[in-house]
């Protein structure tokens, strides 16, 4: 079976391409660095030609409000248009748990636009919403650092390993379209400040994490970052993932 993975050179995409290839599928890794650009349309129709499944794990190179909206709107429209009449029978997109509850920021408004375009298309689809990746802990610390202090709210998170996200995407891609949204998350809830504190301690990072109820998370105040209903629980525990970093 031919499967196209948009964002195939990224964190999730590389793992997904490898997993699907190991199962014997013909997998096309599509990204600008690989000659396929879902925004400009370069190489798009050729990549999709003959494919039965398309998985979109792309992400915007900019999180600025207008730029991120332009990216997800244009990229999603182009991919869906290229799929029409091409024989694609399942469109899978990776999104974020709680997107519809986080619309104060441009990034989540753009993800909501992506989801809406897919839902309103005629393409059979599955939208897979994931919680924050373990691998994002360093980036969260970076944007929240003032001098040597990291200020974060004690908002609940239920983070997940990127490898587990890729495993789940394989299963959803090869299953029948859900024609809806499914949530995936890690096995443990914890507070956002503790999530980052444990990551920094593992790397012996000297920065101090301060719990601050007034601090935001990518512009969000007290965000809801855990599944609120049924979800697929991933197996990897945070402590085990941190241990593997040492």
Full pLDDT tens readout for the chain, 246 residues: 999 999 999 999 999 999 999 999 999 999 999 999 999 999 999 999 999 999 999 999 998 999 999 999 999 999 999 999 899 999 999 999 999 988 888 999 999 999 999 999 999 999 999 999 999 999 999 999 999 999 999 999 999 999 999 999 999 999 999 999 999 999 999 999 999 999 999 999 999 999 998 887 776 766 778 998 999 999 999 999 999 998
The CATH number of the domain holding residue 140 is 3.40.50.720
Domain count, the chain: 1
Tokens of 58: 């792309």
Q: What is the domain extent for residue 142?
A: 2-245
Q: Do 104 and 63 contact (CB within 8 A), yes or no? A: no
Of 45, 48, 40, nearest to 70 by C-alpha is 40
pLDDT (0 to 100) of residue 30: 98
pLDDT (0 to 100) of residue 101: 87
pTM across the whole model: 0.95
pLDDT (0 to 100) of residue 222: 66
């Amino acid at each position: 079976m031919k499967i196209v993975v948009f964002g195939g050179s990224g964190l999730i995409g590389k793992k997904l391409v490898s997993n699907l290839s190991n199962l014997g599928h013909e997998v096309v890794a599509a990204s600008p660095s690989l000659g396929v650009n879902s925004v400009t349309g370069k190489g798009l129709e050729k990549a999709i030609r003959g494919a039965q499944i398309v998985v979109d794990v792309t992400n915007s190179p900019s999180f600025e409000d207008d730029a991120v909206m332009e990216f997800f709107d244009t990229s999603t429209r182009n991919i869906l248009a290229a799929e029409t009449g091409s024989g694609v029978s399942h469109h899978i997109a990776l999104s974020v748990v709680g997107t519809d509850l986080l619309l104060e920021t441009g990034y989540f408004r753009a993800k909501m636009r992506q989801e809406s375009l897919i839902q309103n298309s005629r393409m059979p689809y599955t939208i897979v919403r994931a919680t924050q990746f373990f691998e994002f802990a360093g980036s969260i610390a970076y944007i929240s650092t003032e001098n040597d202090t990291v200020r974060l709210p004690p908002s609940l998170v239920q983070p997940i390993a990127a490898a587990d996200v890729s495993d789940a995407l394989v299963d959803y891609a090869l299953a029948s379209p859900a024609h809806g949204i499914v949530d995936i998350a890690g096995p443990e809830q914890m507070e956002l400040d503790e999530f980052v504190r444990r990551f920094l301690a593992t790397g012996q990072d000297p920065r101090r994490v301060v719990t601050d109820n007034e601090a935001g998370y990518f512009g969000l105040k007290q965000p809801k970052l855990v599944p609120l209903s049924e979800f697929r629980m991933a197996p990897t525990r945070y402590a085990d993932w941190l241990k593997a970093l040492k």
